[in-house]
Amino acid sequence: MSSGERSPGAVRVAIQGELGAYSEEAARRFFAEPIDPVPCREFREVGTVVARGVVPYGLLPIENTVAGSVVASYDVLATETLEVLGEVIVPIHHCLLGVPGTSVDRIARVLSHPVALAQCGRFLLEHPSIEAVAVYDTAGAAREVASSADPCIGAIAGRAAAERYGLEILAENIEDRPDNQTRFLVVARPGTGLPGSPRAASSARKTALLVETENRPGALVQVLLPFANRGINLSKLESRPAAVPWTYRFFMELEADAASEDAEEALAEVRRRAAALRILGSFPRWPRE
């Protein structure tokens, strides 16, 4: 973990990746206050520094419209004691970056985060001579290319990374879909609260849960029925391995506030039927673009 530029009174936010990463953009979108991004190498490091109170807030990418779920973030939510305070959606427009003076034709290797590479499959297929190399972060890839000064190495990252590390944009908008977006969850230690309202606060609310079921037929159906019977929509369901081999925990998101009457009744029923239930938090739904 390293520290970003400090501003007096700014909100410290742990992000995965170097300065200039999409997580930094997400944090600046979400918080109305100035922020001090704290770069972390891995998602679990984000969870650890927030859970231990080293940094008050953290950003975890949870899903992308092209590449799907970011499973490492679900595992952080399962293993650390964190509360979900909000969500933020960021449009993701990838660029091929290189040192000044190079060109797309000269690039032999391109570095980026595996999720970013998965979002640029068409571009990579169209350039079979370019070897895709997975690294821990998009902005970290940009910084490595700038440090190497090698005209044959490029990075897939955003415009902010190009500006920060003095790289040229060799190709822009190389993502597979123009509506490419990533959704991030804002996390903190339970009871922390936000320093203010999110920039795009909405009256509609969501609730995130972690549920473990017994390993028997119909167990998952039994914990979903209480929501369906009360007309509560389930907008996300993700299965991840639990502590015991061949058992699973489920990350769920409901389009309801946990404090509403219907949700309270449904959650009480789920608690009786499930092996374990943890409410991660209720928060405003980010407007869809």
List the catalytic residues. Answer: 182, 184
Q: Residue 125: exposed, middle, or buried by beta-carbon count in 10 A (0-12, 13-18, 19+)?
A: exposed
H-type helices in the chain, by residue range? 22-30, 43-51, 71-79, 114-118, 121-126, 138-148, 159-165, 219-228, 261-273
Helix, strand, or coil (residue 141): helix
Strands (E), the chain: 11-16, 35-40, 57-64, 68-69, 83-91, 95-98, 109-112, 131-134, 153-157, 168-172, 181-188, 205-212, 234-241, 248-254, 276-284
Instruction: Count CB-CB contacts under 10 A for residue 220.
Output: 17
Tokens 């999720």 map to which residue?
115
CB 39 within 8 A of CB 27: no
- Contacts of 175 by beta carbon, 8 Å cutoff, 6+ apart: 66, 92, 93, 94, 119, 120
Nearest to 92 by CA among 187, 30, 13, 174: 174
